[in-house]
Amino acid sequence: MHGIDAGEQAGVFFDGVFSHGLRRTAAPGEFRINTQYGGRIEATLIGPDNEPGLGLDLAAASADPFADALLRRL
């Protein structure tokens, strides 16, 4: 898949506070990013425009619990 060699970014949060960013990349010729398949994980900077893809559009039942969690935080 085009672009998969650039890996994926992940933001790590502790108690709702951003801690650090990670980039996970697959080994050459591999599509799985897990370290057991030769994938690599390294620290990276995540810009303010990094989109927090939560996949809410992929799991219809997740929208309400997500909204409830946000409201509890406000």
Q: What is the pLDDT of residue 1?
A: 59
Tell me the two tokens of residue 70: 């946000």
**What's the pTM?**
0.57
The residue ranking higher by pLDDT, 38 or 33, is 38
Q: What is the pLDDT of residue 53?
A: 67
Model pLDDT for residues 9-26, shown as the tens digit of each residue? 888 888 778 888 888 898
pLDDT band at 31 (very low <50, low <70, confident <90, very high): confident
Total length of the chain = 74
1-to-10, 31, 41, 54 alpha-carbon distances in Å: 19, 9, 20, 21
Q: What are phi and psi of 38, to 5 degrees?
A: 90, 5
| Distance of alpha carbon 30 from alpha carbon 33, whole angstroms | 8
- Domain borders along the chain are 4-73
Model pLDDT for residues 43-68, shown as the tens digit of each residue? 988 877 676 667 777 787 888 888 89
